[in-house]
């Protein structure tokens, strides 16, 4: 059914790679990935991939540096094994928040990561919900950028919240454009939280622009939840302004550090995230719903492999 298509899953998210394989009805390639005693990574491809169209599935979430280096080593292995084309599939792109010089003497690490992936030998990239869409421009190779919002919206639409009772909240001014897409799909009004970040771990939110939200159901969408400081701060603001119920939607559940503890305590009906990243055992909580993007990624892989349009998947 697929000529020369090979799927390879790194160790970052074996379940997602397996689910994509299941959707496409092709087995994952036989590979061995292990750690040397000193922490270096060893990779061996146990099957011939000469002339194949290879898709390497490896979100670069925590442990970010290990997963990134493993991706680079896998690309190198495929290149040297004479793969015809290598696509790095990054359901989550780590270091995306370091995409500009926002202070003196700081790096642009997203650009460095783009250089590394390209230099290692990737021919193209397939990613989903980059923190900043312009990161695509850091690559001089073809880049397909998927969005999970239709999948999240499908779930929230199933809750049948009347638009006049719905307010969709952007947790900061940087997310307004993204959040407006949800407003278009789900109806409701828009409100924006005024967020100030004091450190990587702490944010301060107080004001709400827009509304009123008194007695309404609030949906807060963020591209990622990392320590959950931003989202929990927004939930607090929504509640202080009289929201009756608060739901949270996110593409990337990074859930690191204090995230689980913060989210467990927050007055949230449900947190809905995609499976772009694996869920760590200690980061589980009761009101978390995971929606799979395996079909979205699988369909994109199928289309890229067959040189069909991928833009159809943006809706
Ligand atoms: C920031 O611009 C992002 O969109 C997220 O709001 C932020 O990175 C989430 O991080 P945390 O959960 O640690 O507040």
User: For residues 262 and 267, what is the distance between their CA atoms, to the nearest angstrom?
Assistant: 10
User: For residues 310 and 23, what is the distance between their CA atoms, to the nearest angstrom?
Assistant: 17
In this structure, the answer to whether residues 93 and 223 fall within a common structural domain is: no
Per-residue pLDDT of the chain (315 residues; tens, 9 = 90+): 678 999 999 999 999 999 999 999 999 999 999 999 999 999 999 999 999 999 999 999 999 999 999 999 999 999 999 999 999 999 999 999 999 999 999 999 999 999 999 999 999 999 999 999 999 999 999 999 999 999 999 999 999 999 999 999 999 999 999 999 999 999 999 999 998 877 877 888 878 999 899 999 999 999 999 999 999 999 999 999 999 999 999 999 999 999 999 999 999 999 999 999 999 888 888 999 999 999 999 999 999 999 999 987 876
In this structure, the answer to whether residues 182 and 272 fall within a common structural domain is: yes
In this structure, the answer to whether residues 170 and 117 fall within a common structural domain is: no
Phi, psi for residue 112 in degrees, rounded to 5: -60, -45
Contact 56, 89 (CB under 8 A): yes
List the CATH number of the domain containing 238: 3.40.50.2020
Under DSSP, is residue 57 helix (H, G, I), strand (E, B) or coil? strand
pLDDT of residue 315: 64
For residue 200, the ligand 1 atom closest to its alpha carbon is 13
**Cβ contacts of residue 159 below 8 Å, gap of 6+?**
247
CA distances from 254 to 64, 106, 228 (A): 11, 24, 9
**Ligand 1 within 6 A of CB of 226:** yes
- pTM of the predicted protein model: 0.96
pLDDT of residue 239: 97
Which domain range does residue 56 map to? 5-147+294-314
User: For residues 143 and 216, what is the distance between their CA atoms, to the nearest angstrom?
Assistant: 39
In this structure, the answer to whether residues 246 and 307 fall within a common structural domain is: no
User: For residues 59 and 297, what is the distance between their CA atoms, to the nearest angstrom?
Assistant: 12
For residue 254, the ligand 1 atom closest to its alpha carbon is 12
And the tokens for 278? 């694996």
In this structure, the answer to whether residues 166 and 155 fall within a common structural domain is: yes
pLDDT of residue 104: 96
pLDDT of residue 1: 65
Q: How many domains does the chain have?
A: 2
- Pocket test residue of 92, 133, 223, 273 for ligand 1, highest count of atoms within 8 A of CB: 223
* CA of 156 relative to ligand 1 center, distance in Å: 21
**Ligand 1 within 6 A of CB of 122:** no
**Ligand 1 within 6 A of CB of 224:** yes
- Which is the catalytic residue, given 79, 119, 195, 216? 195
And the tokens for 106? 């700081």
In this structure, the answer to whether residues 304 and 244 fall within a common structural domain is: no
In this structure, the answer to whether residues 159 and 222 fall within a common structural domain is: yes
- Pocket test residue of 226, 228, 237, 249 for ligand 1, highest count of atoms within 8 A of CB: 226
Q: Is 195 a catalytic residue?
A: yes
**Ligand 1 within 6 A of CB of 70:** no
In this structure, the answer to whether residues 182 and 284 fall within a common structural domain is: yes
* CA of 232 relative to ligand 1 center, distance in Å: 10
In this structure, the answer to whether residues 9 and 43 fall within a common structural domain is: yes
In this structure, the answer to whether residues 157 and 96 fall within a common structural domain is: no
In this structure, the answer to whether residues 97 and 130 fall within a common structural domain is: yes
pLDDT of residue 146: 97
In this structure, the answer to whether residues 158 and 234 fall within a common structural domain is: yes
């Amino acid at each position: 059914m697929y000529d020369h298509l090979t799927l390879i899953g790194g160790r970052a998210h074996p379940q997602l790679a397996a689910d994509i394989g299941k959707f496409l009805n092709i087995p994952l390639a036989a590979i061995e990935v292990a750690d040397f005693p000193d922490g270096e990574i060893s990779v061996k491809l146990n099957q011939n991939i000469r002339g194949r169209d290879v898709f390497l599935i490896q979100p670069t979430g925590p442990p970010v540096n290990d997963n990134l280096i493993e991706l680079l080593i896998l690309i190198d292995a495929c290149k040297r094994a004479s793969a015809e084309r290598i696509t790095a599939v990054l359901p989550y792109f780590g270091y995306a928040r370091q995409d500009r010089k926002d202070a003196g003497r700081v790096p642009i690490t997203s650009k460095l990561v783009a250089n590394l992936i390209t230099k290692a030998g990737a021919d193209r990239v397939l990613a989903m919900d980059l923190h900043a869409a312009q990161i695509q421009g850091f690559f001089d190779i073809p880049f397909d950028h998927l969005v999970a919002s239709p999948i999240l919206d499908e779930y929230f639409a199933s809750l049948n919240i009347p638009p006049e009772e719905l307010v969709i909240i952007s947790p900061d001014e940087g997310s307004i454009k993204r959040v407006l897409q949800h407003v278009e799909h789900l109806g409701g009004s828009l409100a924006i939280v005024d967020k100030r970040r004091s450190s990587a771990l702490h944010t301060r939110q107080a004001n709400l622009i827009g509304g009123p939200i008194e007695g309404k159901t609030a949906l807060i969408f963020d591209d990622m939840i990392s320590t959950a400081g931003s989202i929990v701060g927004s939930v607090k603001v929504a509640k202080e302004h009289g929201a009756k119920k608060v739901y949270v939607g996110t593409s990337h559940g990074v859930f690191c550090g204090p995230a689980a503890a913060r989210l467990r305590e927050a007055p949230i009906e449900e947190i809905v995230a995609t499976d772009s990243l694996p869920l760590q055992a200690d980061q589980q909580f009761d009101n978390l719903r995971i929606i799979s993007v395996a079909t979205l990624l699988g369909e994109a892989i199928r289309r890229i492999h067959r040189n069909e349009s991928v833009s159809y998947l943006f809706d």
